[in-house]
Structure 1
Amino acid sequence: MKKILISQRRDPVPGRDEERDGMDVRLAKIFFDLGYLPIPLCSELYEAENYIEAFQTDAILINSGNDIGEYPQRDQLEVRLLDYAKTHSIPVLAICRGTQMLNQYCGGSLVSVTGHVATRQTLQGEWAKNQGYTDVNSYHNFAITQETLGEGLEVLACTQDGVVKAIKHKRFPWLGIMWHPEREANLPETDKKLLSELFNSRI
């Protein structure tokens, strides 16, 4: 079975002197059903030598949750994951905050937006039409625009107000989406097809 490394959100636990890494359990099932063994990563090992290399992974998920800069350990782990993916030509899926991290990694930035939390947004553009997308869920306060797009990235889909909802790298098999497939009652066929195509890709 192929392996996919998954970065996790990091949060303090109220009433306890500890912080925990965590992820939506529905993600594990999505990737297991796609033929991948999901391996959640510990953000505290961001400096551990050979931590990522030891897994010999086939794919990487830069996950959602947290704002960039909120937990530098997580940020640094994800930078190392992208460095590894670049060196080894490994497919990367980035979800929501993960897409923002991918954009920042490529030299881009973010803007604050309203009206994109707990809503559904209509995707615009030929890519969305060809992939069969109409509307997607949305849960973010910060966004990428054409003006803040990182180097080497291409916009695949936007909303009517100019918020970028999907990007890809022009050279590497990296895809970023600003919606959450795991939050749908059932994995949409559009997302299933999209993920299957991505994880079967190589440079």
Structure 2
Amino acid sequence: MRRIGISTRLDAISGRDERRDALDARWAPLLWHLGYVPVALSNSLTDVQSYLEALNPSGFILSGGNDIGSAPDRDRLEKGVLDFSLERRLPVLGVCRGMQFINDYCGGSLVKVSGHVATRHSLVGRWAKDHGFGIVNSYHSQAILKDTLSGDLVSLAESEDGIVEALLHRTLPWLGIMWHPEREKVPSENDLALLKNHFNGE
């Protein structure tokens, strides 16, 4: 079975003098159902390349949580993931913050937006229509616009107010989506097909 490394949120726990790597528990059964072994990644190991070489994953998910710049150890880990994936041409799926991190890594930037936290909205564009994506969930206060999108990336779908909601690297198997497949009460068949096709190289 293919191992998929998943980046984790980094949380400081008030009153406990602890920092914790955290991951939505729904990711594991979602990936296991598709035939993958989910592996949560640690933000605390500094030799990221040796760590990833020992893990020997087939691909990665950069998950949601933590604004870019708010958790430097996580930023370092995810930069190492993209460096590793670039060298080996491994598939990467960026989800919400993860998609934003791909854009940041490739030289793009973010803007503040409103009306995209804890809501649902429509997607527009040929790719969204062809893949059956109509209404998706939304949990972000920062966003990528077409003029803040890296030139290495292409927009696949937007929201009706012009925010980039899905992107693809022009030459690498890196895909980004702003919605959260793991947060749906019943996993969407379209999301499941997207994940399977991406990590199987289809």
Same-fold call, TM cutoff 0.5 = yes
In 2: Cα distance, 1:194 partner to 1:42 partner: 26
Is residue 96 of structure 2 the alignment partner of residue 96 of structure 1? yes
Which 4+ runs in 1 deviate beyond 3 A?
A: 46-49
Q: CA deviation at 1:2?
A: 0.8
Cα shift readout 1:109-160 (whole Å, capped 9, x = no counterpart): 0000000001101000000000011110000000001000013101000011
In 2: Cα distance, 1:92 partner to 1:149 partner: 18
Cα shift readout 1:72-111 (whole Å, capped 9, x = no counterpart): 1100110000011111111101100000000000000000
Structure 2 counterparts to residues 104-123 of structure 1, below 5 A: 104-123=104-123
Kindly provide the amino acid, as one letter, of the partner of residue 180 in structure 2.
H
Is residue 50 of structure 2 the alignment partner of residue 50 of structure 1? yes
In 2: Cα distance, 1:100 partner to 1:72 partner: 15
In 2: Cα distance, 1:49 partner to 1:31 partner: 24
**Structure 1 residues 49, 201: closer, same or farther in 2, change over 3 A?**
closer
Q: What CA RMSD, in Å, does the superposition of the two structures yield over aligned residues?
A: 1.0
- The 3-state SS of whatever aligns with 1:75 is helix
Name 1:84's counterpart in structure 2. 84
Name 2:39's counterpart in structure 1. 39
In 2: Cα distance, 1:18 partner to 1:69 partner: 19
Unaligned runs of 5+ in 1: none
**Structure 1 residues 46, 135: closer, same or farther in 2, change over 3 A?**
farther
Is residue 7 of structure 2 the alignment partner of residue 30 of structure 1? no
- The 3-state SS of whatever aligns with 2:4 is strand
Name 1:150's counterpart in structure 2. 150
Q: TM-score, with normalisation over the residues of structure 2?
A: 0.97
In 2: Cα distance, 1:177 partner to 1:160 partner: 15
- The 3-state SS of whatever aligns with 1:28 is helix
In 2: Cα distance, 1:121 partner to 1:191 partner: 16
Kindly provide the amino acid, as one letter, of the partner of residue 163 in structure 2.
V
Q: What is the aligned length?
A: 202
Cα shift readout 1:180-200 (whole Å, capped 9, x = no counterpart): 011101110110111111011
- The 3-state SS of whatever aligns with 1:150 is coil
